[in-house]
Amino acid sequence: KCDMSEVLRQRELKPGQSPYRALLDTLELSNSRLSLQLINDNNKVRLLLELYRLQGNMTRVKINELKPLKPRYEVPDVLLSDPITEALSVVAQDENSLVVSLGGKDQRLILSAQPFRLDIVEGSQVVMSLNSRGLLAFEHLRTRKDTISHKISSTVGSMWDSLKKDDDKPGMWEETFKSHTDSKPNGPTSISLDFSLPGVEHVYGIPEHADTLKLKNTDGSDPYRLYNLDVFQYELHNPMALYGAVPVLISHSTDRTMGIFWLNAAETWVDISSNTTMFGKILDFVQVSSEAPQTDVRWMSESGIIDVFIMLGPKPADVFTQYASLTGTQSFPPLSALAYHQCRWNYNDQEDVKTVDQGFDEHDIPYDFIWLDIEHADGKRYFTWDPSKFPQPKEMLQGLMDKRRKLVAIVDPHIKVDSGYKIHNEIRSKNFYVKNKDGGDYEGWCWPGNAGYPDFTNPEMRTWWASQFAYDQYEGSMENQYIWNDMNEPSVFNGPEVTMHKDALHGVWEHRDVHNLYGLYVQKATADGLIQRSEGVQRPFVLTRAFFAGSQRYGAVWTGDNAAEWGHLKISIPMCLSLGLVGISFCGADVGGFFKHPSAELLVRWYQAGAYQPFFRAHAHIDTPRREPWLFGPENTALIREAIRQRYALLPYWYQLFYNAHRTGQPVMRPLWVEYPDDFATFSIEDEYLIGKDLLVHPVTDEGATGVTAYLPGKGEVWYDVHTFQKHDGDQSLYIPVTMSSIPVFQRGGSIICRKDRVRRSSSCMENDPYTLYVALGSQGSAEGELYIDDFHTFSFEEAKQFVHRRLSFSANTLSSRNLAPDSQFSTASWIEKIVIFGGSQPSSATLKSADGTESALEFEFDSTLAVLTLRKPGVNAAADWTIVLR
């Protein structure tokens, strides 16, 4: 199946001596930029290598043709800004090598001239090598032989001879896939480079694939493919491309965590092979154990240039920080977006929306968002409403607003070609559509029939698109309506692999160059529109199916069109974990499964799992029976209600973690190894995970399960079952019996988690409610946590520092709340209702000391069998300083 990709011709290239040689005499070194030329001894084509040391322990390696016939595509708009560089210096040089100091920590980069390779070493350890297997390849731009061969002058004639060999291969100037032809006017342009990671056995990332968290060896199978595609009923445990692509690979060993960010938006393939082969001797002072395991990674892209960011860690948190400094952090969603979303293709009409809304109240189940899929629009003309089904959208939105709830309507990027449709007419008249290879507007089939595709790579187009979300442009829209961008791979029903022809044109660039970036731009333009419609006040919420590196800045993603099968429930965990590792924290899978009809058991288990994943939305295909939470009998209704209520109670923790992700780039949903990087046992775990660092969740993903085996990490640590308050030691695998009532969730000893236990019908209704503090004492009898509060939906937290951020700590029998952001200001009506301490002992008294010095005694209860101490009603404002002393 991968034969169709011409890029994979690269794969025929076997490891061996690289034909590339560095021309050391071309070395140029400015303060922070080192450049020199590489020559391919087979064809004499020269490349330009640029090396940068970036702030925050990163190295950037760029390789382009020295003199390309025309410019090659370099991906814009993904990096936040030009990364800040640091000084480089050459510390040693001989006739075949160059040693460059990378600054701090005794880090050096060794450049070997012939064959060309790069080794990054720290002390006497090689941490990563580039082109050590000689797989650097760079198909230079060339003129088509049959049209110019007679014009070749004698001086380039000899070079031409060496090129001819290449040019004889079929597929270089035209490729066919099924009935589609790719005209390839620029001929072959692919690039490739290998990376060797000594000492590494575990690599992760490069989403999106429906596969294990730990990437598999691809020897003997297809490589992992990154090419955004609208896949119908995707297969599990398959390296095939899905809807989104983030070309970031994370490596981890007990020694070090690193990342490779391959900044290229063209079709990309990644080969992984694990080896134990010995590393060659590079320089005398470099020692490598011959027994060391090693992972080799090879990247191949169809066009563009080689532009790699090597993130050198060394800790997981450092890699996240490094990557965030390049591409930005997760956007901070409005609180309600972290609550529960009720979706279906489709809620049929206004009456249906009203009935479902009432259904939630009748069954006392909270929800914040109801969603409208493509059928809501008038003939799939986005930005419009079906006049018979949704004649009064504002009335509907107002009805939801009266309940403090919200709505999401879909706006896809394919635009119905219809001269009676304003959006289409404007895009056409402004010449904003993507063009076909012959210069006409590109057209393809999608939901509305014949459709055009706006060129979202064009900033003017994006500005215009954003303006269409203004309340006076988007008729019937209101401030509690948010947007969902689907089909933005882009999906073209009659295109090759259900996407756009690679020779379609975005200005001067071919679609082949920008493909994986298209979806990011769609979401960016939409999110910008939502910000602008509120004049910059309100935080947007936009869900996207396609994504790229940097998409985290614009909203949420979901794992696309999954199915109501246990395997799909199971795979949702590694899929979202993989996304979190590469910056995209706001991830979820369709609860219940999109295709097919879930059994009641699967649906309940999925709600229980989804309640503990970042983006929590139920969704269903139009051909499936209805599955609102109350349609499976009173028992299952109660189970689903309880799962959703657990989510709502934990919203303060989710919100604080998202604030943290926004501030620092640390993922919200984390593989265990991120917090336990030295515990080898955690490296392949993907059936359980951490939310932040304090909650460990082990969803039940097997039919008829009566128990799960959970691994509780951390030598000397303790974990508390949040349902039973039972205490377990860390560093053990534990069999936990389960019933249908819940899934195992543990709070880490040493943590304090704030909840709102007064669950109401939407998160907005809970904004001013009091907090309960769950203090889980560690083995040392102490605990720490954070509390973050703001207005929950505007940018004031950022622009006016209007928020509360507090450190809660318990040690030496004293619990206190202290301000983490003294220069911020926000007043909240919320107060501290209750404090529950796990693993405590019975005090004789509990005294609350307020900021003004007043002291008051608190009543408490102590459950001696579970060692749970409950302090009654401290009543202090959540933003205040206070201390509670137990004696």
Residues in a beta bridge with 511: none
Contact 708, 746 (CB under 8 A): no
Cβ-based nearer residue to other proteins, 387 or 440: 387
444 burial level (CB within 10 Å; 0-12, 13-18, 19+): buried
Q: How far is the CB of 766 from other proteins (least distance, A)?
A: 8
Q: How far is the CB of 570 from other proteins (least distance, A)?
A: 24
Q: How far is the CB of 783 from other proteins (least distance, A)?
A: 23
Cβ-based nearer residue to other proteins, 304 or 334: 334
Cβ-based nearer residue to other proteins, 287 or 624: 624
Q: What residue type is 482 in one-letter code?
A: Y
Cβ-based nearer residue to other proteins, 389 or 501: 389
- Angstrom distance (rounded) from CA 584 to CA 331: 9
Calculate the alpha carbon distances from 300 to 70, 105, 381, 485 in Å: 21, 31, 38, 29
**Of the listed 486, 503, 528, 790, which one is catalytic?**
486
Cβ-based nearer residue to other proteins, 101 or 348: 348
Q: How many Å separate Cα 19 from the centre of its chain?
A: 37
Closest CA to 51 of 65, 35, 39: 35
Verify whether residue 357 is a known catalytic residue.
Answer: no
DSSP one-letter string for 820-843: S-TT-----S-BEEEEEEET----
Q: How many Å separate Cα 515 from the centre of its chain?
A: 18
Cβ-based nearer residue to other proteins, 79 or 773: 773
Sheet containing 868-872, strands listed edge to edge, beginning at the edge strand earlier in sequence: 855-857, 846-850, 882-886, 814-819, 804-811, 783-789, 751-755, 771-776, 832-838, 868-872, 860-863
Contact 266, 241 (CB under 8 A): no
Helix (H) or strand (E) holding 129: strand 125-130
Helix (H) or strand (E) holding 320: helix 316-327
Cβ-based nearer residue to other proteins, 219 or 855: 855
Cβ-based nearer residue to other proteins, 713 or 874: 874
Verify whether residue 679 is a known catalytic residue.
Answer: no
Cβ-based nearer residue to other proteins, 220 or 625: 625
Cβ-based nearer residue to other proteins, 563 or 674: 563
Contact 208, 539 (CB under 8 A): no
- Angstrom distance (rounded) from CA 47 to CA 35: 10
CA 798, 801, 807, 808 torsion: positive or negative?
negative
Cis? peptide before 475, omega within 30° of 0: no
Contact 707, 736 (CB under 8 A): yes
Residues in a beta bridge with 271: 298
- Angstrom distance (rounded) from CA 420 to CA 426: 11
Q: How far is the CB of 819 from other proteins (least distance, A)?
A: 20
Q: How far is the CB of 696 from other proteins (least distance, A)?
A: 25
Cβ-based nearer residue to other proteins, 231 or 858: 858
Q: How far is the CB of 765 from other proteins (least distance, A)?
A: 4
**Of the listed 271, 357, 561, 694, which one is catalytic?**
561
Closest CA to 224 of 264, 273, 171, 293: 273
How many Cα neighbours within 13 Å face the side chain of 346?
A: 16
Q: How far is the CB of 651 from other proteins (least distance, A)?
A: 14
- Angstrom distance (rounded) from CA 375 to CA 382: 10
Q: How far is the CB of 353 from other proteins (least distance, A)?
A: 12
* Binding residues vs other proteins (CB under 8 A): 348, 352, 364, 388, 402-404, 622-626, 757-761, 764-766, 769-770, 829, 831, 833-834, 872-873, 875, 877
Q: How far is the CB of 540 from other proteins (least distance, A)?
A: 23
Q: First-to-last CA distance in the chain?
A: 70
Q: How far is the CB of 768 from other proteins (least distance, A)?
A: 8
Q: How far is the CB of 403 from other proteins (least distance, A)?
A: 6
- Angstrom distance (rounded) from CA 749 to CA 753: 11
Q: What residue type is 271 in one-letter code?
A: D
- Angstrom distance (rounded) from CA 141 to CA 106: 39
Q: How many Å separate Cα 766 from the centre of its chain?
A: 28
As annotated, the active-site residues are 486, 561
